[in-house]
Homo-oligomer: A and B are copies of this chain.
Amino acid sequence: MPWWRSWPISRNATAEPPGMIATTPEPPYYAVIFTSVRREEDDGYTATAARMLELARRQPGFLGFESARDGVGISVSYWRSLEDIAAWREHAEHREAQRRAARWYRSYRVRICRVEKAYGS
């Protein structure tokens, strides 16, 4: 059984595993694009990243998550509102992880976006 199958999934979260396209509602909604270049040492990164995703999925307004890394890492989380994003940013355990960011990333950029249109197949 892949590890993500055992995750607690809240009523707010879509059930897609990592490596899938998130199923999101009709726009408008919000996206946080987190682009990063990691340092070589793990130094607790993998465990913290898994924990943060587990926590994010339980937050009010969480809509979905997509992530890929090869060289650069791109993680996109989708949210109902800017207020939901702000509340997640202030979550105590998430704040603690943010304080350790310099340990894990050579550089990163966070972009907060309003999704205005979406289509696909």
Contacts and interface: CB of A to CB of B under 8 A. Distances in A.
A92 interface: no
Chain A interface main SS type: strand
B108 A31 contact: no
Size category of the binding interface on chain A = 35 or more
Contacts of A72: 19-21, 66-68
B71 A74 contact: no
A96 to B, nearest CB: 17
A109 B116 contact: no
Given A22-B35, A33-B31, A69-B68, A112 B109 contact: no
Interface string A85-121: 0000000000000000110010111111111111111
Interface string A10-32: 00000000111110100100010
Given A19-B72, A31-B31, A74-B76, 16 more contacts: A19-B70, A21-B72, A21-B107, A22-B109, A33-B115, A66-B72, A67-B72, A68-B74, A69-B70, A70-B70, A105-B121, A107-B120, A108-B121, A110-B118, A110-B120, A112-B116
